[in-house]
Amino acid sequence: IIQLYMPLNWFGTYYRVIQKNFIDMENMFDLLAEHPEIEDLPDARDLMIKEGIVEFKNVSFSYTPERVVLRNVSFTVPAGKTLALVGPSGAGKSTIIRLLFRFYNVTDGAILIDDQNISFVTQESLRREIGVVPQDTVLFNNSIKYNIQYGRVGASAADIVAAARTADIHDRILTFPEAYDTQVGERGLKLSGGEKQRVAIARTILKSPAVVLLDEATSALDTQTERNIQAALANVCANRTTIIVAHRLSTIIHADEIVVLKDGEIVERGSHNELKDRGGQYAAMWKQQLENDAAGGPSSSSAEGQ
């Protein structure tokens, strides 16, 4: 009996750990990413959100000792404002998002939210206040309702529908065979990339975090999908401090500040109009995007790799 019981008990424990991890969608993101386990300090406090100001102060970071990936990066995102990160592939944009979520501790400098160094707060409280819309959302093999509700376990049906409406996915869901009860994911109805991203947006709206991190999908989307996503994104960003990793410059024309990264350093910063007229890196990227757009086809609208 003992022999049989032990592995079952072990499995039970493991299963609970896995289940717990699945409660937070960011942990899903967490599970997929390869990174070392970050420990909370023994005296770590909970992050207390006052306004939601995000600040990078002279942040440097290396994944491995031989290579610096971010060098002396500083910026402030005032409460409710939007900062966009652009730059060539490998510049360090996603690393900034990972550091803010504390998948890694900074090598030098500090990241502050409302003047609290995120290295000194509990990860649980930090991740509770941050919503992430990743590039590729993984759906659970469960109903579409479950997949949205995951943003706030226990949310009412009315709140789920309201979030879906705001994310511009409600009407689409009503066309599914069993509407909100339709099974989705690998073993159910397969959703397009744009639909999955809107599910992620609906989850984040339900979660209602102070800070939103968006990692825009690199994949090309058709114009209508693009418009739907733009509208949904505008809703999720409204009145929330937002950091967006942008691959299409058209997404970030209205960002309060655009930061251009190259080889881990900030090379330009300003509004779209300021940067467009400066004749630097951003102006070149913008020109390239206009040319690509003129050449036609959604597949040419990526401004990456410039």
Interface residues with ligand ATP (CB under 6 A) are: 34, 63-64, 69, 87, 89-95, 304
Phi then psi for 168, rounded to 5 degrees? Answer: 65, 35
Measured from the CB atom, is 30 or 304 closer to ligand ATP?
304
Residue 59 CB-density burial (10 A; 0-12 exposed, 13-18 middle, 19+ buried): buried
- Supply the minimum distance, in Å, between the C-beta of residue 208 and ligand ATP: 26
- Supply the minimum distance, in Å, between the C-beta of residue 87 and ligand ATP: 6
Report helix, strand or coil for 208: coil
- Supply the minimum distance, in Å, between the C-beta of residue 97 and ligand ATP: 8
Query: What is the DSSP secondary structure assignment for residue 96, as one 8-state letter?
Result: H
Measured from the CB atom, is 163 or 233 closer to ligand ATP?
233
Pairing relationship of beta strands 82-86 and 257-262 according to DSSP bridges: parallel
CA gap 296, 302 in Å, rounded: 12
Measured from the CB atom, is 47 or 130 closer to ligand ATP?
130
CA gap 247, 250 in Å, rounded: 9
- Supply the minimum distance, in Å, between the C-beta of residue 257 and ligand ATP: 17
- Supply the minimum distance, in Å, between the C-beta of residue 94 and ligand ATP: 3
Reference 242, options 205, 206, 294, 192; nearest CA is 205
- Supply the minimum distance, in Å, between the C-beta of residue 104 and ligand ATP: 8
Q: Could you write out the three-class secondary structure of 37-89?
A: CCCCCCCCECCCCCCCCEEEEEEEECCECCECCEEEEEEEECCCCEEEEECCC
CA gap 46, 269 in Å, rounded: 32
Measured from the CB atom, is 92 or 151 closer to ligand ATP?
92
Buried-state track 162-184, b at ≥16 Cβ within 10 A, e below 16: bbbbbbbbbebbeebeeebebbb
Report whether 114 contacts 190 (CB < 8 A): no
- Supply the minimum distance, in Å, between the C-beta of residue 282 and ligand ATP: 15
Measured from the CB atom, is 165 or 262 closer to ligand ATP?
262
- Supply the minimum distance, in Å, between the C-beta of residue 197 and ligand ATP: 16
Measured from the CB atom, is 129 or 215 closer to ligand ATP?
215
Measured from the CB atom, is 3 or 64 closer to ligand ATP?
64
CA of 294: how far to CAs of 133, 147, 289, 300, 301, in Å? 29, 38, 8, 9, 9
Measured from the CB atom, is 71 or 272 closer to ligand ATP?
71
